[in-house]
Chains A and B, each alone.
Chain A
Amino acid sequence: DTEVTQTPKHLVMGMTNKKSLKCEQHMGHRAMYWYKQKAKKPPELMFVYSYEKLSINESVPSRFSPECPNSSLLNLHLHALQPEDSALYLCASSQEAPDKFLYGYTFGSGTRLTVV
């Protein structure tokens, strides 16, 4: 299995809703990432998990809450989002220990989120 699986593929939510994005990989990768990508912009890093512990939070608003229940699973909990949070949310994983970066990420197909 060489894939990173993200669910759901599409999500529409209201500003008062609570929802979660899910990411799963079974490649034994020990680092997992959340990125946000707006249209015609590059992916922007949100969070890094290294060995199931939060390692980097790029000053993301608290309405985004990551969780790593085990080495294969990464969640992003969403609450009280704003319309400007509408974007493609990408999960990625990498095989290396995070202090050595040789082979890059494997990205999931993303969740397209629309906040109404």
Chain B
Amino acid sequence: QKEVEQNSGPLSVPEGAIASLNCTYSDRGSQSFFWYRQYSGKSPELIMFIYSNGDKEDGRFTAQLNKASQYVSLLIRDSQPSDSATYLCAVATQGGGKDRASKIIFGSGTRLSIRP
């Protein structure tokens, strides 16, 4: 079973609509959750992080976390063509190093396309 799962898409959304991206994770001990945006040929860019159940809003972005269901989502309101990218869900898990260093595990990403 994959540790972090996302629908690969592509997800096509009309400009101005709400884009909804979903992610599930397997490690119940995970405490921190992230959404990264990655444009083609570029490195990932952190856009949201969340670690408490419920919603967290930042501008047009809302992250939602439900630890009981092991589910994380990202809503993008008023979608713009510049939002077209791959969105990576990432989960921090306890690592296996002797100092218990954490590591972030990425899902395979959802490709989002905003059509004019």
Considering the complex, give the chain A residue whose CB is closest to the CB of B91.
Answer: A101
Q: What number of B residues sit within 8 Å (CB to CB) of A?
A: 30
Partner of A41, one of B96, B97, B103, B108: B108
Using A99-B99, A101-B92 as known contacts, list a sample of 20 further A-B pairs with CB atoms less than 8 Å apart, ordered by residue number in A.
A42-B106, A42-B109, A44-B106, A45-B105, A48-B95, A55-B98, A56-B95, A56-B101, A98-B101, A99-B102, A100-B102, A101-B32, A102-B49, A104-B46, A104-B49, A105-B46, A105-B104, A106-B46, A107-B43, A107-B45
A66 within 8 Å of B by Cβ?
Answer: no
Q: Is the CB of B43 within 8 A of A90?
A: yes
Q: What number of A residues sit within 8 Å (CB to CB) of B?
A: 28
Q: Is the CB of B46 within 8 A of A98?
A: no
Min distance, Cβ B74 to any Cβ of chain A, angstroms: 14
Which B residues are closer than 8 A to A by beta carbons? 31-32, 34, 36, 42-46, 49, 51, 88, 90, 92, 94-109
Within 8 A of B (CB), among A97-116: 98-110
A to B contact number (C-beta, < 8 Å): 78
Min distance, Cβ B38 to any Cβ of chain A, angstroms: 9
Min distance, Cβ B50 to any Cβ of chain A, angstroms: 10
Chain A residues lying within 8 Å of B42, measured Cβ to Cβ, are 109-110
A50 within 8 Å of B by Cβ?
Answer: yes
Can you spell out 10 A-B residue pairs with CB atoms less than 8 angstroms apart? A33-B103, A43-B44, A56-B97, A56-B103, A88-B43, A98-B99, A101-B92, A101-B104, A106-B46, A110-B43
Alpha-carbon gap, A102 to B46, bound state (A): 12
Chain B residues lying within 8 Å of A108, measured Cβ to Cβ, are 43
Within 8 A of B (CB), among A5-64: 31, 33, 41-45, 48, 50-51, 53, 55-56
